Amino acid sequence: MLDDRSGGIARWRRVADALRQEIADGSLIDRIPPESRLAQRFGVNRHTVRRAIAALADEGLLRAEQGRGTFVNRPAERLAYPVGARTRFSENIARQQREPGGRLIKADQVTADARLASILECRVGAPLHRLETLHVADGVPLSVSTSWFLLERFPNIVQDYAESGSITRALEAAGLSDYRRRETRLTAERATPNDAQALSLSPDGLVMVARAVDIDLENRPIQALRTRFSADWIELVFRH
């Protein structure tokens, strides 16, 4: 039965969350129990259960078969995404015989606050390019990134990325032939509504958030970025 102390979260969503977790940990496989049994188990009505099942079907986790019931779809194999000194999205995806792609969602100009000024080693208030980008493999959305670049050093980064769909190629167009990752910090967070929509996640789905800094070969910061990975499709691999 659901714990009523979880106020503010719709009951159907809490049912969906519980079933999603059971699918993820392998305790729920093949055909799921009938709606009446689930309603009794969670202490809700059948309409609530039906809505939860519909949400999981929209996510691709469940499928209805006429006259047979509702079944768990076999989870898709996650892509291994190595994180190291030379992290490159296109290379990571292509190595796994998938077609990588990138798309510019939006771009604007902002000024560096104290945090970004410290990361990019610039003055507070320095003009920056901010890019919001979507990254896919075989057309499946894997991650959304926000990147910040010094406008003075990379004046055409937005146009170059829009044309190539690759940060690496956009930096090459700016005369930077190689760069490295200084650090990556990883957390897990609830997806924002915009990220959930872009990554085809449930409204309260989780994403792995990687905050990183890239540097040139002279150890000067070139990019601050915050990438949100779909935990449904990606597993991050740290090699030591």
- DSSP structure string for the chain: ---TTSTTS-HHHHHHHHHHHHHHTTSS-SBPPPHHHHHHHHT--HHHHHHHHHHHHHTTSEEEETTTEEEEPPPPPPEEEEESTT--HHHHHHTTT--EEEEEEEEEEEE--HHHHHHHT--TT-EEEEEEEEEEETTEEEEEEEEEEETTT-TTHHHHHHHHS-HHHHHHHTT----EEEEEEEEEEEPPHHHHHHTT--TT-EEEEEEEEEE-TTS-EEEEEEEEEETTTEEEEE--
How long a stretch of residues is the chain? 240
Q: What is the structure's pLDDT at 116?
A: 98
Residue with tokens 């560096």: 112
**If we measure between CA atoms, which residue out of 44, 38, 60, 58 comes closest to residue 9?**
44
Encoded tokens for 37: 């049994």
To 5 degrees, how large is the angle CA 51–CA 53–CA 54? 65
Low-confidence ranges of the chain (pLDDT < 70): 1-9, 74-76
Q: What is the structure's pLDDT at 188?
A: 94
Instruction: Give the CA distances from residue 20 to residues 49, 55, 118, 119, in Å, rounded to whole numbers and listed in that order.
Output: 13, 10, 40, 38
DSSP string across 20-39: HHHHHTTSS-SBPPPHHHHH
- Please state which CATH number belongs to domain 79-238: 3.40.1410.10
Q: What is the structure's pLDDT at 139?
A: 83
Q: How many CB atoms lie within 10 A of CB 2?
A: 16
Q: What is the structure's pLDDT at 3?
A: 54
Domain ranges of the chain: 11-72, 79-238
Encoded tokens for 22: 């059971």
- Please state which CATH number belongs to domain 11-72: 1.10.10.10
Separation between Cα atoms, residue 99 and residue 95, nearest integer Å? 9
Separation between Cα atoms, residue 39 and residue 49, nearest integer Å? 6
Q: What is the structure's pLDDT at 10?
A: 83
Q: What is the pTM of this model?
A: 0.70
Q: What is the structure's pLDDT at 9?
A: 64
Q: What is the structure's pLDDT at 8?
A: 47
Model pLDDT for residues 180-219, shown as the tens digit of each residue: 999 999 999 999 999 988 888 877 788 999 999 999 999 9
Cβ contact 78:108 at 8 Å: no
Separation between Cα atoms, residue 80 and residue 225, nearest integer Å? 20
